[in-house]
Amino acid sequence: MIRTVATKPFSDQKPGTSGLRKKVPVFEQAHYSENFIQSIFDALDGYRGKTLVIGGDGRYYNREVIQKALRIAAANGFGKVMVGQGGILSTPAASNIIRKYKAFGGIILSASHNPGGPHEDFGIKYNAENGGPAPEKLTDAIFAKSKAIKEYRISDAGEIDIDTLGTSRIEDMTVEVIDPVKDYAELMESLFDFEALRKLFKSGFRMAFDSMHAVTGPYGKEILENRLGAPEGTCRNFKPLPDFGGHHPDPNLVHAKALYDDVMSASGPDFGAASDGDGDRNMIVGKGMFVTPSDSLALLAANAKLAPAYAKGIAGVARSMPTSAAADRVAEKIGVDCYETPTGWKFFGNLLDAGKVTLCGEESFGTGSNHVREKDGLWAVLFWLNVIAARGESVKDIVTKHWATYGRNYYSRHDYEEVESEKADALMRDLRAKLPSLPGTRVRGLTVAKADDFAYHDPVDGSVSEHQGIRVMFEGGARVVFRLSGTGTSGATLRVYMEHYEPDAAKHCIDTQEALADLIAAAEDIAGIRKHTGRDKPSVIT
Ligand code: VG1
Ligand code: CO
């Protein structure tokens, strides 16, 4: 039976960079999750009888919210829900299912790289029929509905079995439990040269793939070990756990340090890769060479033709504004357009749908292409393997040669986490007020050429997104970017991004933090980070 439940709005259901993310106890409040899911449906039109995809990264509270979402979807008139077995779907796999089966949209449950557990993070995100995160217009509409909601509709059906493949019913809606891995593995097989990858592993090439006890475990096992013949043991931490083993499922030099150290050791594997909570991020490490995500995008663009899916060339490249301009140089050389978008994958959707770009990337360990409408961790790893197999060279050689051809964009991000919100807001406010007076001033031997608050004009639908980060550009091409994170769940996180271009190959072996020392000091001088936040160093450096 369908019940209509009276409820009151919560004022804090504004989706951030990637959906609504809060601590688990916030989602556990009576009606909280139900309100948000009903608000999503209230902001949509024309879904009656259509298909919805539901899946998540397996974190704590995933199963509970899936049960609620199924019952609310049935009560709102969806014809069918496709749900990943055990409630599991990686973010890129969910995007693929939406596209492949022409679903109306999907609900992805994840807080990505944030920790999981009873007192950690949870998240709910809506993806549209193109398989991509809801654009700002839709997230604004969802937020507006959440502030006015008076009731939600829910079926009183009992617990639904989401662990057995096959179909069942709730009210008039079909529930189909699907294999979360199969369609995704087939998609990867259609993009890359699996035969060459099998040969690579057969030849003794050693790799470690760290799933960080998050969602890519089963995907990595099936693709790398079962289909590509990589030896057992290639996949590490492959069992998804609701609390990710107590760690941050964030593939970077801080949280995936053990993998990094292993690849760098003499007896360690030739190649290392890791993915995040929901499987859309990737970290790439070769022996003696960590590949920054910004460089990775540029390198994949430069080598795209080596992968069967991109053999005819790419239409264009897009990167988020804080991502380094390494990809811009490749785009220029191969004669394709390069777009600069605000942070967050939702801004790439229009460019991909319009066929303006093929590859996209963010400095935050995110890379993807037009094969889905999300960034895709394992896809990036397979792309790298394809490039390595085709070139027959090590990661280190491939990267060094790339820098010699295009120059090197030294790049780093400094995060100041859990700063008091008022303090972080004051820092940004002061910085904004200072913008007009910055050009022409000298800081640490650098002259400010331009300073602005980044606004994006979407070339496809004409929409404008303002206040997407403060950019300070120096003469000679170096820059510093300041913005506040839109994915955190406690206090504010200040992100400071530094970039400096070095064309001279003789200067490419300098340590990154050393190469950026003047810019790091300039960022402090300009923004007064210490004075505002009371912090004398960042909490995470990537
Ligand atoms: C961060 C990253 C951004 C990424 C977003 C979602 O956002 O900087 O590049 O798209 O996380 O990634 P923010 O607003 O905290 O800087 V994920 O893997 O959480 O879906
Ligand atoms: Co993620």
Domain 408-541: CATH architecture, name and number where available: 2-Layer Sandwich (3.30)
Same CATH topology for 2-179 and 183-406: the answer is yes
Regarding the beta carbon of 280 and ligand 1, being less than 6 Å apart is answered yes
Question: Which atom in ligand 1 lies closest to the alpha carbon of residue 344?
Answer: 10
Question: Which atom in ligand 1 lies closest to the alpha carbon of residue 125?
Answer: 20
Residue 393 Cα, ligand 1 centroid: separation in angstroms?
32
pLDDT > 90? residue 194:
yes
130 closest CA partner among 320, 310, 371, 378: 371
pLDDT at 507: 87
The predicted model gives 74-81 an average pLDDT of: 98
Task: Enter the CATH code of domain 2-179.
Answer: 3.40.120.10
pLDDT > 90? residue 361:
yes
The predicted model gives 158-176 an average pLDDT of: 97
Task: Give residue limits of the domains in the chain.
Answer: 2-179, 183-406, 408-541
What proportion of the chain, given as a percentage, has pLDDT over 70?
Answer: 100
pLDDT at 335: 97
pLDDT at 475: 94
**Ligand 1 atom 16: the closest Cα is on which residue?**
485
pLDDT > 80? residue 195:
yes
CA distance 226 to 432: 53
pLDDT > 90? residue 491:
no
User: Amino acid identity, residue 402?
Assistant: H
Dihedral angle of Cα 362, 368, 374, 378, to the nearest 10 degrees: -110
Regarding the beta carbon of 127 and ligand 1, being less than 6 Å apart is answered no
pLDDT at 373: 97
User: Amino acid identity, residue 28?
Assistant: E
pLDDT at 79: 98
pLDDT at 509: 81
pLDDT > 90? residue 487:
no
pLDDT at 17: 84
Question: Which two tokens mark 216?
Answer: 């890519």
Cβ count within 10 A of residue 218: 24
Regarding the beta carbon of 125 and ligand 1, being less than 6 Å apart is answered no
pLDDT > 80? residue 169:
yes
Confidence of residue 145 (pLDDT cuts 50, 70, 90): very high
pLDDT > 80? residue 488:
no
Confidence of residue 190 (pLDDT cuts 50, 70, 90): very high
Residue 324 bears catalytic tag:
no
pLDDT at 490: 81
Tell me the helix, strand and coil percentages in the chain, rounded to 5.
35, 25, 35
Question: Which long-range contacts does 450-456 make (Cβ < 8 Å, 24+ apart)?
Answer: 454/321, 454/342, 454/481, 456/321, 456/340, 456/341, 456/342, 456/347
pLDDT > 90? residue 240:
yes
The predicted model gives 238-266 an average pLDDT of: 94
Regarding the beta carbon of 366 and ligand 1, being less than 6 Å apart is answered yes
Residue 276 Cα, ligand 2 centroid: separation in angstroms?
6
pLDDT single digits (tens) 17-63:
889 999 999 999 999 999 999 999 999 999 999 999 999 999 999 99
488 closest CA partner among 113, 152, 208, 229: 113
pLDDT > 80? residue 178:
yes
pLDDT at 148: 97
Confidence of residue 479 (pLDDT cuts 50, 70, 90): very high
The predicted model gives 259-283 an average pLDDT of: 96
Q: What's 135's DSSP letter? A: P
Q: Which residues are placed with Cβ below 5 angstroms of ligand 2, an ion? A: 112, 276, 278, 280-281
Question: Which atom in ligand 1 lies closest to the alpha carbon of residue 495?
Answer: 16
pLDDT single digits (tens) 428-473:
999 999 999 999 999 999 999 999 999 999 999 999 999 999 999 9
Number of H helices, E strands in the chain: 18, 27
For domain 183-406, give the CATH superfamily. Answer: Alpha-D-Glucose-1,6-Bisphosphate, subunit A, domain 3 (3.40.120.10)
Residue 182, φ and ψ in degrees, nearest 5:
-55, -55
Q: Among the options 95, 112, 364, 412, which is catalytic? A: 112
